[in-house]
Amino acid sequence: MARWLVVGGGLAGTLAAEALWHAGETVVQRDAGLPSASRVAAGMFNPVSFRRVVEVWEAEEHRTVAAQVYARFERLLGGVYWHEVPVVRAFPNADYAAVWEARLAEGHAVSKWIERVDEPGGLSFAHGAGRVQGSGWVHVPALLDDWKALAQNQPERLAWESGSWQWSDGLPAGYDGLVDARGVGAVADLRQWGIQVNPNHGEVLTLRPGAWSHSFTLNANKWVLPQPDGRARLGATYAWGIEDDRIQQASQSELLAPFTTWGLFNSDDIEEHRAGLRPASPDRRPMVGKLSLRHPWYAVLNGLGTRGVLVGPRAAQDLARQLLTDVPQRDLTNPTRFRSFNEI
């Protein structure tokens, strides 16, 4: 059995650490306490892409593995992280409503997740609305806190340490391998390999208890997600070219605007406003596995992007399988797939 250093205490690092530990390996997880996207994320998963009304990439497979992995965390840690919550999509115009209808009529692959819905929760929308099942959210910060607490308690083969690591440190003494799961903290090091992790700036609001009392998520390009304590999360913005996690001035009105048509929220409803940097990959697929035979000890789990909660568990499962059994890396998530890849 090998001894692994997993660098990063966000969702990627935690999923990787758990997957290796679950497989019987010894794992030390190290985190520098830097800003983490996972601490800001609403944690939503949704098998449907609303832009084209199609399934997201390998929706069923990702959802199945995600449900299994988060259930394993729940059994281990005693928390409840996985919440199934339907999404109501307010159709933006008649053409969009027609696409939705056509998908249902032709039995398109997406039709197993979607249906039409009339006046959900008494709300009426000019062009109608549809509903998605199989969606929900994962309480990522609670999962990360509970996992960290377990690791700090030093159960067999698992430990936590505060600290930093970068490529120039190499493989620290006492380890057989290292998983680099630093999110945007890995941008500069991965650039040397010709791998781009692109920071995508995003912001989310927390609304006061009672501001949104429905039991579904409403998506009107921006979304509002109910929370068990009566609060709601409202998000999200997506911006390129902002390299720090500061709140942008215009974002509050951008986030609230789609809901003002129905007189739903205003700035008095906002309790909290947070921003973070998503580690995005150029082709929106994660980067999973080893980079080079010259550095066989080094593997990455990064590029979880906007859908880390859904794609992260299978990515971590693949990673562990590759590292422990030499199963070849999947073409679509192999970090060396980019034309810009450059072996160092």
Residue 43 lies near ligand FAD (rule: CB under 6 A)? yes
Q: Of 97 and 224, which CB lies nearer to ligand FAD in the complex structure?
A: 224
**Closest approach of Cβ 104 to ligand FAD, in Å?**
26
**Closest approach of Cβ 242 to ligand FAD, in Å?**
11
Taking CB under 6 A as the binding criterion, the range among 63-71, 90-98, 175-183, 210-218 that sits at the site for ligand FAD is 175-183
DSSP state of 57: T
Could you give the string, one character per residue 200-229, with x where binding to ligand FAD holds by CB under 6 A and - elsewhere? --xxx-------------------------
Residue 1 CB burial class (10 angstroms; 0-12, 13-18, ≥19):
exposed
Residue 300 lies near ligand FAD (rule: CB under 6 A)? no
**Closest approach of Cβ 202 to ligand FAD, in Å?**
3
Distance between start and end Cα atoms, the chain:
28
Name the helix (H) or strand (E) containing 104. Answer: helix 94-105
Residue 31 lies near ligand FAD (rule: CB under 6 A)? yes
Taking CB under 6 A as the binding criterion, the range among 106-114, 179-187, 287-295, 326-334 that sits at the site for ligand FAD is 179-187
Residue 162 lies near ligand FAD (rule: CB under 6 A)? no
Contact predicate 178/31, CB 8 Å = no
* Cα dihedral sign, 246-250-253-255: negative
* Distance set, CA 333 to CA 11, 89, 115, 146, 318 (Å): 17, 30, 32, 29, 10
Among 63, 89, 103, 182, binds ligand FAD (CB under 6 A): 182
DSSP state of 93: S
Residue 276 lies near ligand FAD (rule: CB under 6 A)? yes
The residue type found at 194 is: G
Taking CB under 6 A as the binding criterion, the range among 58-66, 95-103, 181-189, 323-331 that sits at the site for ligand FAD is 181-189
Residue 142 lies near ligand FAD (rule: CB under 6 A)? no
* Sequence-distant (≥ 6) Cβ neighbours of residue 125 within 8 angstroms: 90, 91
Residue 38 lies near ligand FAD (rule: CB under 6 A)? yes
**Closest approach of Cβ 38 to ligand FAD, in Å?**
3
Closest CA to 185 of 333, 4, 30, 342: 30
Among 5, 6, 40, 69, binds ligand FAD (CB under 6 A): 40
Rounded CA separation 33/238 (Å):
24
Rounded CA separation 68/176 (Å):
28
Residue 42 lies near ligand FAD (rule: CB under 6 A)? yes
Rounded CA separation 276/279 (Å):
10
Residue 329 lies near ligand FAD (rule: CB under 6 A)? no
Q: Of 103 and 285, which CB lies nearer to ligand FAD in the complex structure?
A: 285
Binding site for ligand FAD (CB under 6 A): 7-13, 30-34, 36-38, 40-44, 164-166, 181-183, 185, 202-204, 235-236, 276, 278-279, 302, 304-310
